[in-house]
């Protein structure tokens, strides 16, 4: 019988990449969410209120999440990201469970050295980061993946946001150039599937490209426009002034992401073979434990 994996949030950018890669490996894919995924079968599920049916799958990759900065209300982040994760983890039972979190769980920088998985996860400046940090505690025994700034074909978040910083043919960025980590959507998808196939030990893993980027160069290349700098303090003051508006153009969290120089330490994910090739064979099918 074919190995069957459930992918929550498969209609989204990252979830769709996971579903397509799983199908490419010969896995049967069950897409859970309000909308169908790009492959496999669709099982309708509302992350904010429902417990999914996972009785016939062998493993679960959980990517469904409320996102955005400032995004929806704290109540929505709690219902989808925190309580939704708890419902999925409970339904998964003893099956291999991969929870896609975010490097946004880490306490704000600056970061003088690469950030390891044991870096404090508190004091986040966004509701999204707070909810993702809380969600990790609702998935005991899971493999938890922490990507940063996921990019790739079809990206609906990162590049559109950066384009809003373009004015008069230039990209205006706060503070001086800094090093940073980025995560290819294909690398994230591979990590999700390799964690199952290779039975990664439970716990948190930073997932990032194996090179360190320079902020100004990567943004200039992506947008095809030269970089101009504004003082970081001025950008933070503007974000503070805009905080009460319904849809602020700039937030403190966004400024932090561009100025704090977060580079992820990927020693743990390297040790479990993330950057090795080729991908492994099919994992063992799930066998329910007797009651």
Reading the block at residue 12, the tokens are 């989204």
Query: Are 87 and 52 spatial neighbours (Cβ–Cβ below 8 Å)?
Result: yes
**Distance between CA 191 and CA 207 in Å, rounded?**
8
Question: Which DSSP symbol is given to 48?
Answer: T
**CB-based contacts of 278: which residues, under 8 Å, 6+ apart?**
none
CB-facing half-sphere around the CA of 276: CA atoms within 13 A: 10
CB-count burial class (<10 Å; 0-12, 13-18, 19+) for 175: buried
Distance between CA atoms of residues 121 and 159, nearest Å: 26
Task: Reply yes or no on whether 128 is catalytic.
Answer: yes
User: Mind spelling out the 3-state secondary structure of 67-99?
Assistant: CCCCCCCHHHHHHHHHHHHHHHHHHHCCCCEEE
Nearest to 47 by CA among 2, 4, 9: 9
Catalytic hit among 111, 128, 205, 213: 128
Report CA torsion sign: 24, 27, 28, 31: negative
Residue 88's φ and ψ, nearest 5 degrees, are -65, -45
| Residue 137 contacts residue 82 (beta carbons within 8 Å) | no
The catalytic site residues sit at: 128
């Amino acid at each position: 019988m074919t190995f069957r994996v459930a992918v929550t949030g498969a209609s989204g950018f990252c979830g769709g990449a996971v579903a397509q890669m799983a199908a490419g490996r010969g896995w049967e894919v069950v897409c859970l969410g309000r909308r169908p995924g790009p492959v496999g079968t669709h099982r309708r599920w509302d992350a904010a209120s429902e417990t999914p049916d996972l009785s016939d799958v062998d493993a679960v990759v959980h990517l469904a999440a409320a996102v955005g900065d400032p995004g929806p209300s704290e109540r929505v982040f709690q219902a989808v990201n925190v309580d939704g994760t708890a419902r999925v983890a409970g339904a998964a039972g003893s099956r291999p469970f991969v929870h896609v979190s975010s490097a946004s769980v880490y306490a704000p920088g600056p970061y003088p050295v690469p950030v390891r998985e044991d870096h404090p996860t508190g004091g986040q400046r966004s509701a999204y980061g707070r909810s993702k940090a809380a969600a990790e505690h609702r998935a005991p025994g899971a493999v938890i993946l922490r990507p940063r700034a996921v990019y790739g074909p079809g990206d609906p978040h990162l590049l559109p946001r950066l384009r809003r910083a373009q004015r008069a043919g230039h990209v205006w960025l706060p503070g001086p150039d800094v090093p940073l980590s980025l995560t290819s959507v294909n690398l994230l998808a591979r990590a999700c599937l390799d964690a199952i196939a290779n039975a990664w030990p439970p716990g948190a893993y930073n997932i990032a490209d194996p090179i360190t980027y320079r902020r100004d160069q990567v943004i200039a290349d992506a947008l095809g426009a030269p970089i101009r700098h504004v003082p970081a303090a001025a950008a933070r003051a503007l974000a503070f002034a805009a905080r009460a508006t319904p849809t602020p153009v700039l937030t403190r969290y966004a400024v932090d992401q561009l100025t704090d120089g977060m580079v992820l330490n990927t020693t743990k994910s390297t040790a479990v073979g993330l950057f090795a090739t080729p991908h492994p064979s099919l994992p063992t099918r799930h066998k329910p434990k007797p009651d």
